[in-house]
Chains A and B, each alone.
Chain A
């Protein structure tokens, strides 16, 4: 698979950015870290908005920046869609003219996305003739995303596009971002310091700390890595699963999801069969059971698992990393660990008492 490669090593007055980026050109990559860790600067470097001495950036086979030979394509020559923290819409144009600004500047043979498609995905049909000043913050940000998409970018850079919005607007925009990615297949770099956004959107995480990449990898592996769990301020996450909707059991008010040939039940969802849903499991909601699958229990969600790693957290509790075809962490007491005699490599059952859905994460 082709990759995005970038190297930047530059001292700013406030901090030292020193990164070596290598991410696949697919899916949503979250650039995550505390405020001031250099997320926005990294994104601006990737866009060519900050000219970095000795900088290097390659997108697939296209080299966009190689300061060794004095090459640095300006942003307007890179096939990048950029959405800033603020919408930055042009106040002297209405919504339609804003959307068409970039579209009209792309040669017709390079256009892969048309207005109807974007207007439909973002739900901004009724806003087209409005003045920018008459839009709410969420609407403005949607237009800004649409405007960027209409340049048919090969890479989409989103710099905390939801940061200035309240929770309700965020919740309204997140599905749009997920959807545009699913429908348009554009690789996305998504800067955020909000863990809930990343848990809902990202496929992969780059963790930035004080200008350096502290860790990088697939979202579910990063958040279940016993080593890194603490870094994210989301140490309660036990698993992030993209599961397919297998059936609806309306008589019980349940939806059956399928993951790796195993079943998971969640409260009834208004998602059609065959679609993929992202669900989260808190590590404290997972218990480890030694026994057979057909043992009678009230717990519906029972998965076959193998113990991968065990790590002590404090005097009384331990984290157990399980393999269910994906990583799953169970937080249990040290006493249980000793009584059950759990060891890496052992086959066990994971009982999951509750499964969190996206909406609950934001609240």
Chain B
């Protein structure tokens, strides 16, 4: 990776930090939401499901635009916090959470649907409280779903471009991530460096997906 400059390395670091934060936030917010989606009989379920899936089909610029407006000094979030989150790392995390939401929620939801309520009821009958039952029974059985959610959420955030550019700009060390760095290199005809980062992203993404598919096929869910 001799072609990588210090700026490129700092972009890699921003990307990794961003993806990690996003996945952590999504697991905390997404677990109850995915559980609700998996088990509710509510009529608003399809509406919520559609909203969660939106980022898959929406142009990132559309999502980025609205998040930018919301986070700006005159947007609802900006006014509430009395500061502008646009073009900051925090703003980028908020944007990424929306952008990568379906990639975390959907694997969790299908995992919870597959687990069903039966093990939960069994755990209750064995004196486990709801929280206890979730931690000791449901999440281990849904482990594959969690692995898929973490890996896909991480990889998808690493690869985002449009939303980042709209909400974060490309401030070195703060909001410049790998994908925007490629764009910057190409803009100034530094093809060798653009190629190095692109090749890294390509290999990374392929390996991540490969890991997910191998895991889904073979991962045993034994803990003790």
Residue among A84, A97, A105, A131 making CB contact with B122, cutoff 8 Å: A84
Residue among B127, B132, B133, B222 making CB contact with A92, cutoff 8 Å: B222
A156 CB, nearest partner CB in chain B, Å: 11
Please report the C-alpha to C-alpha distance between residue A93 and residue B136 in the assembled complex, in whole angstroms: 10
Is there a chain B Cβ closer than 8 Å to A88's Cβ? Answer: yes
- Asked if B121 and A49 make an inter-chain contact with CB atoms under 8 angstroms apart, the answer reads yes
A96 CB, nearest partner CB in chain B, Å: 9
In the complex with contacts A101-B128, A147-B126, A91-B121 CB distance below 8 A: no
B126 contact set on A, CB distance < 8 A: 76, 101-102, 105, 147-148, 151
- Asked if A102 and B121 make an inter-chain contact with CB atoms under 8 angstroms apart, the answer reads no
How many residues on chain A are close to B (CB under 8 Å)? 26
Please report the C-alpha to C-alpha distance between residue A102 and residue B133 in the assembled complex, in whole angstroms: 11
Is there a chain A Cβ closer than 8 Å to B182's Cβ? Answer: no
| Residue in chain A with minimal CB distance to B140 | A92
- Asked if A106 and B127 make an inter-chain contact with CB atoms under 8 angstroms apart, the answer reads yes
A94 contact set on B, CB distance < 8 A: 224
B137 contact set on A, CB distance < 8 A: 90
B58 contact set on A, CB distance < 8 A: none
B209 CB, nearest partner CB in chain A, Å: 26
Interface string of B151-193 (1 = CB under 8 A from A): 0000000000000000000000000000000000000000000
In the complex with contacts A90-B141, A92-B223, A74-B121 CB distance below 8 A: no
Please report the C-alpha to C-alpha distance between residue A147 and residue B132 in the assembled complex, in whole angstroms: 17
B138 CB, nearest partner CB in chain A, Å: 10
Is there a chain A Cβ closer than 8 Å to B221's Cβ? Answer: yes
Please report the C-alpha to C-alpha distance between residue A177 and residue B140 in the assembled complex, in whole angstroms: 31
Please report the C-alpha to C-alpha distance between residue A15 and residue B128 in the assembled complex, in whole angstroms: 31
- What total count of A-B pairs have CB within 8 Å? 69
| Residue in chain A with minimal CB distance to B137 | A90
Is there a chain A Cβ closer than 8 Å to B118's Cβ? Answer: yes
- Asked if A76 and B223 make an inter-chain contact with CB atoms under 8 angstroms apart, the answer reads no
- Asked if A148 and B125 make an inter-chain contact with CB atoms under 8 angstroms apart, the answer reads yes
In the complex with contacts A92-B141, A92-B222, A93-B224, A76-B128 CB distance below 8 A: yes
B136 contact set on A, CB distance < 8 A: 101
Interface string of A324-341 (1 = CB under 8 A from B): 000000000000000000
- Asked if A84 and B127 make an inter-chain contact with CB atoms under 8 angstroms apart, the answer reads no
Is there a chain A Cβ closer than 8 Å to B129's Cβ? Answer: yes
Is there a chain A Cβ closer than 8 Å to B76's Cβ? Answer: no
Interface string of B94-137 (1 = CB under 8 A from A): 00000000000000000000000011011111111110110011
A97 contact set on B, CB distance < 8 A: 224
A300 CB, nearest partner CB in chain B, Å: 48
- Asked if B141 and A76 make an inter-chain contact with CB atoms under 8 angstroms apart, the answer reads no
B121 contact set on A, CB distance < 8 A: 49, 75, 82, 84, 88
Please report the C-alpha to C-alpha distance between residue A89 and residue B123 in the assembled complex, in whole angstroms: 9
- Asked if B124 and A88 make an inter-chain contact with CB atoms under 8 angstroms apart, the answer reads no
| Residue in chain B with minimal CB distance to A152 | B127
- Complex A-B: 8 CB contacts under 8 Å: A75-B125, A76-B125, A84-B118, A91-B221, A94-B224, A101-B123, A101-B136, A102-B127
Which 6 residue pairs across A and B have the least CB separation, nearest first? A102-B126, A82-B125, A105-B127, A88-B122, A75-B124, A92-B223
Instruction: With A88-B122, A105-B128, A151-B126 given, name 16 new contacts (CB 8 A).
Output: A47-B125, A76-B123, A76-B124, A76-B127, A81-B125, A82-B125, A90-B122, A90-B123, A90-B137, A90-B141, A92-B140, A92-B221, A97-B224, A101-B123, A102-B126, A105-B132
